[in-house]
Structure 1
Amino acid sequence: MRHALAAVCAAALTLPAPALGAGPVSGAAPAAAAGRAEVPCPKPKVAPPPNRPAPPVPPPDDPVGSAIGGDALATHGLVVPAGAKPPPAVTATTWMVADLDTGEVLGGCGPHVFHTPASVQKTLLAATVIGKLEPKQRMTVVPGDLDIEPGSSAVGLLVGGKYPISTLWLGLMLNSGNDAANALARLAGGGGPDGVARTVAEMNATARRIGAYQTHAVTPSGLDGKGQFTSAYDLALIARVAFANADFRRYVLTERAQMPAQPHLKKGGFQFQNENKLIFNYPGALGGKTGFTTLARHSYVGAAQRNGRRLVVTLLGAEARPLRGWQQGAALLDWGFSLPRDESVGKLVSPEDMATAEPSPTPKPAVAPKAAVTDAKQDDPPRALSFLAAASVALVLAGAPLLLLLTQRRRRRPGRR
């Protein structure tokens, strides 16, 4: 039976990733919520921005994936603890607030709804490879590192420039440098021309390992790519892994940093500042990541601590008016901190939960065994895989015990839908 299950999962890995095209962001309601009235999420009364592009069509809802962390989370609407005060009205299409330490989900709006990530995907890059690269090691920028969408955010790396890897991380997290994302992904993937592709494959493997089954990365930076998606719930899982790393916590709390001069290129250095305004304006802020593309709109991941409690907020598909992404995050954090500590509507699954639930060995991505900062040629990158398809098949075939493990790890107090 175990061999048969492994064979089916292997077959699922060869399925193409769900295609994303123009169309509405909302799909059919999750099967777990069928027959139940959904509570609309509070929204401010503001006109939508002119010329907003049609969002990508998401993959169809997965009834199993939508209930990971608790069946109350399988909704496109609002889920909050019974009797809790209403959360603030925000423009975000989907959002969630959770406890970084206990993993309790305090509330959310469509926590498992698919959405494009923009630059908050850089938190997945960090969660995947930050431990592979030595911060003090120096690297040399190659032309491919600057192969980014014209007009997109860049920290200003120069071809031929030599930088400490710690500077790349600061450029990534403070200034949302897509050039830094490419450089870090290339290095972590072995340093060769296929390094970025290898790291993206590893990012997807990391997402699956921690239970973020609705996340599929196509670019390391979060620049839009066909088939790229995530969810507010998945972003909280990723943030929990990232914030467990001391270097990540230090980078995202850095207010400003210095880009070193490149005398051999006759270029001076310059200062850049953290774009996440939460750290300047919110008492107890722990940092986070902003994001924006015209297609994804504004996204945000932020964390803060208060009275010995650490909360994380994730939101996707927001507009900048009347509140910017970080301000919407701050309002939701305030709401979360106002709830009693025992309030919960679900649970963030842990990597240990997923290891226990794994029905068969997870194939390891073909990545370099040791990160390098050279341009040595690497083996051909692995063929793109549909991790969502594999996860769905594995979860369904695993049966009731697996569902109970992933969906029932929450407090008994029921949530309001």
Structure 2
Amino acid sequence: MNQSAAVIQGAPKREETTTYKILFIIGLCHLLNDSIQAVIPAMFPVLEKSMGLSFTQLGLIAFSLNIVSSIMQPVIGMMADRKPMPFALPIGLTFTLFGILGLGFAPSFEWIIVSVLLVGLGSAIFHPEGSRVAYMAAGPRRGLAQSIYQVGGNTGSALAPLITALILVPLGQRGASLFTIAAAIAVGLLSYIAIWYSRRIIWTKGPSKAKKSKVPVNNAVSKAVKISLLLILFLIFARSWYTSGITNYYAFYAIDQYALTIRESQMFLFAFLVAGALGTFSGGPLADRFGKKNIIFFSMLGAAPISAVTPFVPAAAAFILLAISGFILMLSFSVTVVYAQELIPGKIGTMAGLTVGFAFGMGALGSIGLGYLADVIGLPLTIILTGFLPFLGVLALFLPSDKKLASWYN
């Protein structure tokens, strides 16, 4: 968090206290937000049957959902670094509420697009300020605080297959409207958070001298920072395209390949996403011990051989391999965010918005790109090719080490 924009009020002793109540509430809100967002790709098998949509149209729906977050998150992150916006949190979830309500009753493809744009906008507003709340409530335990916050979101995403199996399959499209209840609960909780948040900040103008002193002035270092940031974004691209392929299209592949029902196919995605949530929670502590660069490198290349062979094994083995690859691949999720924040100190919201927003954007492009590819060359070959994307993780070798990164600013 840029301390020139917001300073936590209160006695010094209180500043050092981790506010677990706020952390658990914001983590729960992250779960609710991301579970609502996950309803949209979870509905793909239902929409494909009820509306006769093509893979390209399904990709356009996912693109519409994620591209808003991709564009808006960095912008909101930069704005929040200058002037935090506590009540943007409940306002954002109100957009989501109307979006999910519209999705449940959308009569056509065009109305679905409008609805998911509203959900995407709400998510874009929530994430940067939600991350800032976790920072403010962290006290001395910032790693733990971010883990609680991030695992809430990934757990929400992991609920998508269960949502499909238990709600959307029996109730159909209208079942999505039930999630307005979750959105309303989140709005109420975030209103409480916003009041807590607004009481603990004061507004100031301009960047502090301390933050200015951390901006690199050496041209060689500046160039290296830019190259490293581009590498991080490219690694996020590879990870996002792979996860987009699995979450949006693997259910169709499993149905065709293993003769599964929609409900059964969702259990494969559930295994992948739950393991991914565990990986996200584990990545931070492992990075503290073994180094951020090492975990990013291991996360990508460690998952690569598993993801490559998954399409060629029987159903039981595929279920296990999906869980393993999800855990390993998502070890880097929060680590890439922290790495980017350390590349450019003092821009907590901007770097969080850029990296997470870029992940949404690449997921959006992956959805439409892989959907079009599936229509052209067939879904089985598309899934096979997608499995080779994590091999691009070899580029993590060219990232500066954690020690070198620290030396740039000391």
TM-score bracket, normalised by the shorter chain, equals under 0.3
User: TM-score by structure 2 length?
Assistant: 0.28
Question: Between Structure 1 and Structure 2, which shows a larger proportion of helix residues?
Answer: 2
User: TM-score by structure 1 length?
Assistant: 0.27
